[in-house]
Structures are given as structure tokens and as C-alpha cells.
Amino acid sequence: MAAAALVSLAWLLTFRLNAWAFDAVNLSPYVSWIFLPAGVRLLAVLLFDWAGVAGLFVGSLMGLGTVYGDNLPAALVLAGLSAQGPLVAVRLTRRWLRLPVDFGGLSPSHLATFSCVGALLNVVPATLFHRLTDQPVTAFDHALPMFVGDAAGSLLLLYGLASLARLGLRLTR
């Protein structure tokens, strides 16, 4: 329960930070050419598995309230897609790259692969949902910037945290 709450809080804080820090490249509240919360999605699943998924669902749902207002069904579906996509991305990428469940041996190219697969598995379902339900977001206009933003945001966040972890290990030796 604590992990899910931590993930929800991290997602919401990163969502707000992203809106402020990258205001110039935001196309909408959920589409930006750099979207750091996408990295929180992957990190949450890498660290907490299903508890991370639960936290992502709650955090996304809370954030979606500002975008979808009283359209609760759309917010529920999109929050579910936002939470489950990273789980599928992490499991597929780990299997594809034959990576261990722990973080041992993750290279920058592994992080890039996680970031791209995570972006793809967020953009495709969200775009299909918007297209099939005639949501106000212009799905195909936002697909490329959403993919680039998710991949870039994930890579920045994951690589930044990995660099901090390596620096911390060096300082403790």
C-alpha cells in the first residue's frame, strides 16, 4: 500500500514539475515533447511491479481529472492504459533482452530500449482509444510528439537516476 501511495505521489509531483519545467514544449496537459512522468511509469513497475501499477492508476486518474473533468469513463480507461502499458513494456523488454529481475547490468542502451518500448505501449493504446471514442484530443496529431516526449522523458529520468546511483556508489567507496 505504501509503495502504491509513493508512486501516486511521485507521478503527480512529476506531472506538475513537467507542466512547469517544459511549458514551452507542452502541446496539452498529457502531451509534451518531453514528458518526465513516463519515466515514473517505468520506474514504478521496475521497482514495485503490481503495487507500482496500482499507484500509477491512482496518480493518473487524479491527474486526468483536470483534463477530462466529469468524463469519468474516459478517465478510468486512460488511467488503466497508462498504468498497464509500463507493466507490459517492462516484462516484454526484460524477456526480449534477457535481463534479470534485479537492476544488475542495465546499460544506457537497455534504458533506451525500456524508454522506447514504454513510449510505444503508451502511445498506441491511448491513440486508439482517442480515435475510437472520438475524444477531443486529436489522436493522430499527438501520436508522434507523445511518443517522442514519453521516450525522451523516460530516458532523461531513468538515465539521470542511474547516474545519481552510480555517483552515490562512488562516493560511498
- H or E segment and range at residue 26: strand 26-28
Longest dimension (CA), the chain: 56
Scan for cell 521497482, then name that residue. Answer: 47
pLDDT at 137 over 60: no
Model pLDDT, residue 113 = 95
pLDDT at 135 over 70: no
**Which CATH number describes the domain made up of 2-172?**
1.10.1760
- Label residue 138 by pLDDT band (50, 70, 90): low
Q: Is 12 exposed, middle or buried (0-12, 13-18, 19+ CB in 10 A)?
A: middle
CA distance linking residue 1 with residue 165, whole number of Å:
25
Per-residue pLDDT of 55-77, as tens digits, reads: 999 999 888 766 666 778 888 89
Model pLDDT, residue 64 = 75
For residue 16, give every residue at least 6 positions away whose Cβ sits within 8 Å of its Cβ, in sequence order, or none.
none
CA distance linking residue 170 with residue 13, whole number of Å:
29
- Label residue 36 by pLDDT band (50, 70, 90): very high
Per-residue pLDDT of 104-130, as tens digits, reads: 678 889 999 999 999 999 999 988 888
Tell me the CB-side half-sphere exposure of residue 65, using CA atoms within 13 A. Answer: 7
The pLDDT mean for the chain works out to 87
Percent of the chain with pLDDT over 90: 56
pLDDT at 136 over 70: no
